[in-house]
Structure 1
């Protein structure tokens, strides 16, 4: 018992930096924002209690609905595209051998460490409707490229394409999952006459479904909190006068504007809690549905 007690205290000692950081930088700010969401606060004077007025304003504010719809549409476009491209790249990496495997893993992961602000600036350079590289390449094959940065329907697809620049972490996760699939399963399926598509559908996907489910949740949460690239490209000081577009008004951008441009900190806190509820609801639905599609080694689904 004494030994177990010492081991428990040692474990708590190792966990304490994270626990202290969570309390100081996560738990306390969350409680404070919940309290502020019921106040009128602009950082220049003391908070004034307003009850549910901020949440009532959320229902009536058309910009909240617009930004939330933009964010959800972007999420629906971005998450499947990210997962599909990452899985395709990971499948290609499984065929690499020797030194080339390490080289290509590094190449695919390097964009992951590119600052998001730089990616936003890169968006304006590559997807410029008149002189951008993307439209120039499309022109070589006879396609008249759209106005990615000013035509509303094309803004979110353009941002999704830019997001595919940095899928390195997802590729690494899928690569590890693919290499964990037993080769015997592929050999048995091939002996039974299964085609490549059938082997992928009946063997690969079930065996890596845990990794797919994990990245689905992580990518969904990240997409719902998209901010950096869109804000830099459309709402930064250098670009806002020319490229500002309501199609790029994501929820977190509008929250940022309310909090730090208009100093409506109480209202912004209410917006943050609405986003928290939306993310929680979507995640719970995904977890619920995962019981039907995710394969576990013990045989449970």
Structure 2
């Protein structure tokens, strides 16, 4: 009985399923794996048509931001370390411009004038705008007409407002002092007395608070009426309802206008320069009290041609505004209420 032997066929190992990592491949580090994952997600989203359309729509803004904002900011930062005068060769001076900022008495004077102006203008404009918005809330159907009337001055050129300041606040023939004389009050010299220059400018800039009024009116209309009804049932009066219902509900709008108005006040230029530095008889007015920071920056850049020094001044103002805004944002956590937020 013979036995037949057959040659054994080699047994092939099964292939690994798809998607199984190759054991011979080098393991990826955690940062590299995360970077590759982000790249794959970005490529997947880029293939979507709506993403490409979104980039196409915002591309004009991106080009404008890079060309008109980011580019000039980067250039001014570089120029702040030079003695660039706009004409001759540029020479690096290191931190000399920034050191000079703390030795220039006009920088301290102009910054003090600007901060004092902001402290007077911002609270007054916000309080007056809120009062006007509360009045518009009670007008009813005519609110749309008055809202337009209050907003129209915002479209008035600031140069015209500066000239209007000279006409209204002239110490001798100005309308303000004439009206004060009717009630037996001897009006001050708004344009020549340093103590009254900034209050006069504050009153002039209140002409254009219509945008703040519109923001407050929209916020007031969004307050739920049932909250007022509940407060009334609890025996709350008008002031208590305003304090405990209205203010918390519009605190987001108040915070927004606080930040925006503060930044605008710290950058005040047009009205002050037109009234006190751009007139033919500018020497008759008090320059010291009206010398705001941006006015002095403008003089250094385009009157004295100290472009490098003016660039350093602009970056100092940027840092000051940034610090103030950050402080406002931190303090807002105590009084700003957002719907749906738990405390």
- TM-score under structure 1 length normalisation: 0.97
SS of aligned partner of 1:40: coil
CA RMSD in angstroms, aligned pairs only = 1.2
Task: Answer with 240-249 or 12-21: which moved more.
Answer: 240-249
For residues 153 and 252 of structure 2, what CA distance do their matches in structure 1 show? 25
Give the match's secondary structure for 2:139. Answer: coil
Greater share of helix? 1
Deviations 1:257-293 (A, max 9, x none): 0000000000000000000000000000000100111
- Residue 174 of structure 1 corresponds to 216
Gaps of 5+ in 1: none
1:54-133 matches, within 5 Å, as 54-98=97-141, 100-133=142-175
Find out whether 1:140 has 2:199 as its counterpart: no
Aligned pairs, number = 300
The 1:121/1:300 distance shift into structure 2, 3 A limit, reads: farther
Aligned to 2:3: none
TM (normalized to structure 2)?
0.85
Q: Tell me, yes or no, if the aligned pair for 2:46 and 2:52 is still in contact at 8 Å.
A: no
- Any idea what the Cα deviations from partners look like across 1:186-240, whole Å, max 9, x if unmatched? 1111111111111110000000000000000000000000000000000003241
Task: Give the drift of 1:245.
Answer: 2.2
User: 1:222 maps to what in 2?
Assistant: 264
Alpha-carbon separation, structure 2, partners of 1:3 and 1:38: 41
Greater Cα offset, 1-10 or 217-226: 1-10
| Distance in 1 between residues matched to 2:280 and 2:219, nearest whole Å | 42
Rounded to whole Å, the distance in 1 between the matches of 2:260 and 2:92 is 36
Which range moves more in the overlay, 216-225 or 1-10? 1-10
Between stretches 102-111 and 57-66, larger displacement belongs to 102-111
CA spacing shift, 1:43–1:288, aligned 2, 3 Å: same
1:198 is aligned to 2:224: no
C-alpha displacement of 1:144: 1.3
Q: Does 1:9 align with 2:52?
A: yes
> Does 1:158 pair with 2:200?
yes
Question: Matched residues in 2 for 1:228 and 1:178: separation?
Answer: 32
Q: Distance in 2 between matches of 1:271 and 1:141?
A: 45
Given that 2:169 and 2:175 are in contact with CA atoms closer than 8 Å, whether structure 1 keeps it comes out as yes
> Alpha carbons of 1:300 and 1:253: their partners in 2 closer, same or farther (altered >3 Å)?
farther
Give, in angstroms, the shift of residue 106 of structure 1.
Answer: 1.1
Contact 2:80 2:311 in 1 (8 A): yes
CA gap of 1:234–1:187, structure 2 versus 1, over 3 A, is same
Q: Does 1:208 align with 2:250?
A: yes
Unaligned stretches of 5+ residues in structure 2: 1-43
1:300 and 1:217 mapped to 2: Cα distance? Answer: 24
Q: 2 CA distance for matches of 1:119 and 1:193?
A: 47
**Pair member with larger Rg:** 2
Q: Please give the secondary structure, in 1, of the residue aligned with 2:201.
A: helix
Between the aligned partners of 1:185 and 1:139, the Cα distance in structure 2 is 47
> In structure 2, what is the Cα distance between the partners aligned to 1:73 and 1:195?
36
Partner of 2:289: 247
Tell me the equivalent position of 1:31: 74
